[in-house]
Amino acid sequence: MNQHDAVEVITAKRDGGELSDSQIDWVIANYTSGEVADEQMSSLAMAILLNGMNRREIGRWTNAMIASGERMDFSSLSRPTADKHSTGGVGDKITLPLAPLVAACGVAVPQLSGRGLGHTGGTLDKLEAIPGWRAALSNEEMLDQLEELGAVICAAGSGLAPADKKLYALRDVTGTVEAIPLIASSIMSKKIAEGTGSLVLDVKVGTGAFMKDLEKARELASTMVELGKGAGVNTVALLTDMSTPLGFTAGNAIEVAESVEVLAGGGPADVVELTVALAREMLAGAGVTDIDPADRLTDGSAMDVWRKMIRSQDGDPDAAMPEAREKHVVNAPGSGVLTRLDAMAVGLASWRLGAGRAKQGAEVQAGAGIVWHARPGDEVTEGQPLFTLLTDESERFDRALASLEGGFDIAPTGSDEATSYSPDPLVIDRLA
């Protein structure tokens, strides 16, 4: 490998230049090994945030991160593979019903998931609310479960893109999380190394999303689609709305319960809509076009896969879910039509109640979270329950209530705001 030094690479990007392939390979390899120090990589990350990268640089950066670790291989499976990645939102429990639904249609879903940080929830935190369920599987266990059941949701092993694990933690504490080249390469290095045959990206946009601006979300989505296709992974992206939280719950155990409702053929309309839309994309990417996944929700086959999947990872799908010790109800301050429910306000409230963590490794409360009893467009009556706040520690209520202030609007019935209200589309755009 050509020899470089960290200062040379930093100054090249600081001055608006392009990094060569050998510079990128060198800096990623040497950061992973510890030869490039955290303060040097944080300086380079800030230069990338300020000056950007072209598509060649992003592609090479992604490949260098993949090369820092192992690659999984699902070619031995008897069915095609498809995966989904969400950029994170509030009430975004879609992975839970989606993986067993797609598996029930004949496509294997190797879903390597993460934990929540800040106001966005983590899939593993939600599933760990199920008594006994374990997130850590060996590669052999993962392959066996995929072959037998067609679906696995588990933690990524330490061998996948270790460079990303180091860089992700560094970005989080150096104000460089928002750099689109680094977001795209972080997500796609793990997904490509994971070895899935096709990938559907759910790129959230709106107040509760990481990307609040539609054009920036579109840029991120198109960059990731190009990276996936360049690596031979059949990749599409949906831009989906995250100004309003999904469903009626944000938390851990309560989101699992809502997901089970969807698998039972019910559940909130928006959660069902997005689950089915993503399932159709995953099936199409895997070459399965003769099955409507909506049918697998109503005939019970997706629920069968869910129950087997939970049991296979030592969970009890019939166990009573954890419940919070304390509850606080917020009543509607007036009558009319709920015209806005801000996803960020709800997400912060859930986080402050104990459903999320402020730093990596902190514990979360399985029973904590927030339930909202109306969605935008619904009529509400003064005094009726609008939110139920759940936590094990009643001292958390005040800060959670503060985050909800200004987080919703109720327009008087018959007013222009009430009569003209119409919801934004859940799926905004599709990029392929």
Q: What is the pLDDT of residues 143-177, one digit of tens each?
A: 999 999 999 999 988 788 999 989 988 887 888 98
State the Cα–Cα distance between residues 326 and 349, nearest whole angstrom: 15
The H-assigned helical ranges of 52-179 are 55-67, 95-104, 123-127, 139-149, 162-172
pLDDT of 119 > 80? The answer is no
Secondary structure tally for the chain: helices H, strands E: 17, 13
pLDDT of residue 114: 83
Q: How many CA atoms lie within 13 A of 134 on its CB side?
A: 8
pLDDT of 360 > 90? The answer is no
pLDDT of 1 > 70? The answer is no
Write down all domains in the chain, each with its CATH number in brackets. Answer: 6-52 (1.20.970.10), 82-157+189-312 (3.40.1030.10), 326-419 (3.90.1170.30)
Contacts with 256 (C-beta within 8 Å, 6 or more apart), sequence order: 93, 96, 126, 127, 129, 130, 321
Q: How confident is the model at residue 2 (pLDDT cuts 50, 70, 90)?
A: low
Does the reported pTM lie above 0.85? yes
Contact 197, 229 (CB under 8 A): no
pLDDT of residue 116: 75
Residue 81 phi, psi dihedral angles, 5° rounding: -115, 150
Q: How far is CA 218 from CA 38, 52, 223, 241, in A?
A: 31, 16, 8, 12
Bridge partners of residue 85, in order along the sequence = 201
Active site residues: 85, 164, 171, 186, 190
Q: How far is CA 101 from CA 61, 229, 259, in A?
A: 34, 25, 11
Tokens of 282: 């995953």
